[in-house]
Amino acid sequence: MARTAGRVEGKSAIVTGAGSTPGPGVGTGKAVAVALAREGASVLLVDLWAERAEETRALIEAEGGKAEVFAADCTKAADCERMVAAALEAFGTVDILVNNIGRAQVGTVVDLSEEDWDFALSVNLRTVFLACKYAVPVMAAQGSGSIVNISSISALRGDGTIAYSAAKGGMLAMTVEMAYAHGRQGIRVNAVAPGHIVTPMVKSIPGQDTDYVNTLRNEAGLLGTPGDGWDVASAVAFLASDEARWITGVTLPVDSGVLSVTPLSMARHLRAIPQ
């Protein structure tokens, strides 16, 4: 077993979207699930496509970790209710919930259709509401729990994805609101905002996996190096663990510093304009 520091030893976790869009590399939910298992958690792998979650389970079990697959459409209340019940039945507690489901839709307020807006809000935000609706009472009864929401830098910077960005911004508002409402019940709620990471989902978008775009993606960050699902997973494992016991209501960017610079200083950084 590729165990690390045992940060979440003996805890149980639900990871939504724990599969990964097919292709080389690893999605964030898959990486998060594997990382939590390596740190000692038992993980319920929730995905719309069971076969994707099965791949994650195979990875975890090959390393001696513990995981169960649960097929669910997390836009549906009944599925989320059954998901929490399944975690309780399998592991006895729900200590960690990672809300990872998401899908970007390109479009402005003018050209995005009403249907695409509703779909984006449903996949990116309703799933968080429903998963928390059923997990929080369980955590409150336990007197402890840690929720990590996978948002995006699109919540904080223009990206041409009006509905996705609105939903990811909504996640950040929910993070603060739930931290406020449930702190006294021993529940911490934090968010991670990934930047221009490379996942199979990103690679599957036409035009996103060219040398030119990959260079831009790397160079846009202050570190000048590529990031992936494992970088997000490390941040999630920390926030989910008791090492972060006094941290709640925060958003942690995992973005190679993209949020730390203005466009003008970025142009200087890239030496596109004189120093």
Ligand X SMILES: NC(=O)c1ccc[n+]([C@@H]2O[C@H](COP(=O)([O-])OP(=O)(O)OC[C@H]3O[C@@H](n4cnc5c(N)ncnc54)[C@H](O)[C@@H]3O)[C@@H](O)[C@H]2O)c1
- Residues annotated catalytic, as ranges: 164
Rule CB under 6 A: is residue 42 a binding residue for ligand X? no
Q: Say how far apart CA 39 and CA 16 lie, in whole Å.
A: 18
Q: Shortest CA distance to 47 belongs to which of 11, 86, 9?
A: 86
- Which one of 8, 14, 33, 74 is in contact with ligand X (CB under 6 A)? 74
Q: Say how far apart CA 47 and CA 21 lie, in whole Å.
A: 11
Q: For ligand X, which is the closer residue by CB, 48 or 86?
A: 48
Two tokens at 109? Answer: 């307020």
Rule CB under 6 A: is residue 100 a binding residue for ligand X? yes
- Per-residue binding string, ligand X, 145-184, x by CB under 6 A, is -----x-x--------------------------------
CB under 6 A: which stretch of 57-65, 97-105, 109-117, 207-215 binds ligand X? Answer: 97-105
Rule CB under 6 A: is residue 230 a binding residue for ligand X? no
Q: For ligand X, which is the closer residue by CB, 49 or 230?
A: 49
Q: Shortest CA distance to 188 belongs to which of 139, 223, 233?
A: 139
Helix (H) or strand (E) holding 47: strand 42-47
Rule CB under 6 A: is residue 14 a binding residue for ligand X? no
DSSP 177-206: HHHHHHGGGTEEEEEEEE-S-B-HHHHTST
Amino acid (one-letter) located at 67: A
CB 5 within 8 A of CB 92: no
- Per-residue binding string, ligand X, 245-274, x by CB under 6 A, is ------------------------------
The residue ranges that bind ligand X (CB under 6 A) are 16-17, 19-21, 27-29, 47-49, 52, 72-75, 100-102, 123, 127, 150, 152, 194, 197, 199-202, 229
